[in-house]
Copies of this chain bind each other. A is one copy, B any other.
Amino acid sequence: MGTMRANVFHGKGEISVEEVPRPHAGAGEAVIRVTLTTICGTDLHIVRGEYPVKPGLIIGHEPVGIIEEIGPGVTGYQIGDRVLVGAITPCGQCHACLSGHQAQCGHGGGYEALGGWRFGNTINGAQAEYLLVPQAQANLAKIPGELSDEQVVLLADIASTGFAGAESGAIKIGDAVVVFAQGPIGLCATVGAKLMGAALVIGVDGDDFRLQMARRMGADVALDYRAVDVVEEVRRLTGGGADVSIEALGTQQTFEQALRCLRPAGTLSSLGVYSGKLQIPYDAFAAGIGDHRIITTLCPGGKERMRRLMEMIRRERVDLTPMITHRFPLDNIVEAYQLFGERRDNVIKIAVKP
């Protein structure tokens, strides 16, 4: 059957690159040889023991690769096709998917909370030489020849998630939008808000390099929360409150500020992964009758989503490569996790090459 190198999670704080069995494609599946992947903030949560997965799992959920095996029942693909696979791999055939809620995929049955997120969560993930892709028919997105691996790898999760923050906010031409946190997801939300026609996009962070990246990726204003009262400043800049706030961090403070920045009848589009209880402040919420909307969104996946996002790169509407600040071989991924976890050296995203 052969073996491969892969980054295996063994318990809190314990990951290592090891030789493990290579996967093979069953019915409806495919195996890709991973040519590029990356590390996500969620992977950090896993390694830190903040999000539980079972020991022995290969982690990572952002794969670019080349089709190596195609299982029975998968049509329209060839061995050797270069593909992008989203972090979320919907089956397309369960009640959730057929209702358009693909991230809450029930794998052929009903709904399952977060069920669409399988790679590096409930099945082996992408930080490996080979990756088994479930429901391959719905999830293998061919990469146009003119696009490099680095041009598309960030679409699998952070761009799909960040843009979805803008989409769930239903941003309209002329909107004023504020995005809380300018890490990888927040930067993509900033890009997404511009793409949907926002007049004014305000990026908020407390890190000089990220504020600079925010401007580079399209923020009209980059607010440093260390220097200004963010809520007051957003209210001033927007003349009374933002139409849409996007939360891209997952803390009580950013959630609350995102709500306080809104005009009446505004929308809080929430992307963050929260822990513990979340408070909705009574006053900022207009006692519950301010016609506010709080919309939460998990990364959209599936091959059609990936195709659309790749079109945005191909037509030069977006270039996310400036966000890839570092590159590591898979064998050094433990070192890459350290750098990423400590946010050293202005890291935004790290490309990992098996």
Interface residues of chain A, those whose CB is within 8 Å of chain B, are 27-28, 72-76, 90-104, 108-115, 135, 137-138, 163, 166-167, 172-176, 192, 195-197, 199-200, 220, 239-241, 250, 263-265, 270-282, 285-298, 302-305, 307-309, 311-312, 314-315, 317
Contacts and interface: CB of A to CB of B under 8 A. Distances in A.
A298 B289 contact: yes
Contacts of A241: 111
B314 A199 contact: yes
Nearest to A107: B75
Contacts of A274: 282, 285, 287-288
B199 A108 contact: no
B101 A264 contact: yes
A195 B220 contact: no
A150 to B, nearest CB: 19
Contact of A291 (B104, B172, B239, B287): B104
B287 A275 contact: yes
B264 A138 contact: no
Nearest to A196: B197
A104 B170 CA distance: 19
A312 B173 contact: yes
Nearest to A77: B108
A149 to B, nearest CB: 20
